[in-house]
Amino acid sequence: MNRTNSDRVALVTGAANGIGRATALAFAKNGYKVVVSDIDSQAGKETVALIEETGHEASFIRCDVSRDEEVRLLIEKTVSAYGRLDCAFNNAGIEIEKCKLADGDEGVFDSIMNVNVKGVWLCMKHQIPVMLAQGGGSIVNTASVAGLIAAPKQGIYSASKHAVIGLTKTAAVEYARRNIRVNAVCPAIIDTEMYRRANVADAKHVTMAVAAHPIGRIGTAEEIAAAVLYLSGDLAGFTTGVAMPVDGGLTAQ
Ligand code: NAD
């Protein structure tokens, strides 16, 4: 591919909030046309408005990533609006109430796997044929440090993020010769609504969260966005199949 960013189209799922919103804004700032997708239409349209305020182009398409037909339509509408799909950031994900494995619930297991694992697989299933037809592309999936190491009291979430890394590595190897790169980003604790819902009410948890990171603080959504922009772009042309920690040193310990 020899395209400039202004010819490129990026799709971000889970882009109504947090890491997805910050990354949609970063793609736009770097000249990409951005498709913002989420189940939350109101907040998703706010992301589009924030992008448009900066003078860049974006549109919102509602999609529940755990539903095959909705994902198929998301990709079809993206291609019919913009003619191509260069970069996909498959980021939509959910967390669970913390509990030990033996106290887990079957319904919770199914919902986590449906969104975090099936969602990423369905997105790639529908994105890859478009990228093959246009001669290449780049995919980044959101895993987590919980996809690399144990996550006590978050066993199902941890299993779902290990699975995202398995899907990422396999897709990377299967499509490497077809000019499609597939990588995963593995954030540690990032200051988003997901983190605040689980921790902010509890000062002890906040102190523990900060202390877990050698760098002495939790991360920002913009710091994950920067890593995704790098992995998506030409600077990472020889990088595929990696699960990149962006974690303030957490997994180096
Ligand atoms: P967030 O809750 O702020 O945002 C997640 C977004 O995903 C929301 O806008 C939500 O509406 C959307 N979403 C949920 N289910 C969906 C579905 N079925 N289809 C489409 N959209 C859906 O969370 P965040 O912190 O920005 O998390 C983004 C990703 O980063 C997730 O995959 C999460 O597991 C991962 N992650 C977050 C952290 C953290 O500490 N915040 C750490 C590691 C990994």
Give the CA angle between residues 208, 164, 248 to the nearest 5°: 35
CA of 193 to the centre of ligand 1 (A): 9
Q: Which of 32, 82, 157, 195 is catalytic?
A: 157
195 lines ligand 1 (CB under 6 A): yes
89 C-beta closer than 6 A to ligand 1: no
pTM assigned to the model:
0.97
Give residue 133's pLDDT.
Answer: 98
Q: Is 19 in the pocket of ligand 1 (CB under 6 A)?
A: yes
Whether 195 sits among the annotated catalytic residues: the reply is no
| C-alpha torsion sign, points 4, 131, 222, 41 | positive
Nearest CA to ligand 1 atom 33: 93
Q: How many CA atoms lie within 13 A of 14 on its CB side?
A: 27
Ligand 1 proximity of 189 Cβ (cutoff 6 Å)? yes
The pLDDT value recorded for residue 204 is 82
Ligand 1: which atom is nearest the Cα of residue 193? 3
Ligand 1 site-directed mutation target among 19, 64, 75, 168, most atoms within 8 Å of CB? 19
Burial of 44 (0-12, 13-18, 19+ CB in 10 A): buried
User: 3-class DSSP state for residue 88?
Assistant: strand
Residue 145 CA, closest ligand 1 atom number: 43
CATH number of the 7-189+221-252 domain: 3.40.50.720
What is the reported pLDDT for 1?
46
Q: Where are the domains of the chain?
A: 7-189+221-252
Quote the ligand 1 centre to 184 CA distance (angstroms). Answer: 14
pLDDT per position in the chain (253 positions), as tens?
457 877 899 999 999 999 999 999 999 999 999 999 999 999 999 999 999 999 999 999 999 999 999 999 999 999 999 999 999 999 999 998 899 999 999 999 999 999 999 999 999 999 999 999 999 999 999 999 999 999 999 999 999 999 999 999 999 999 999 999 999 999 999 999 888 887 666 788 888 889 999 999 999 999 999 999 999 999 999 999 999 999 999 999 9
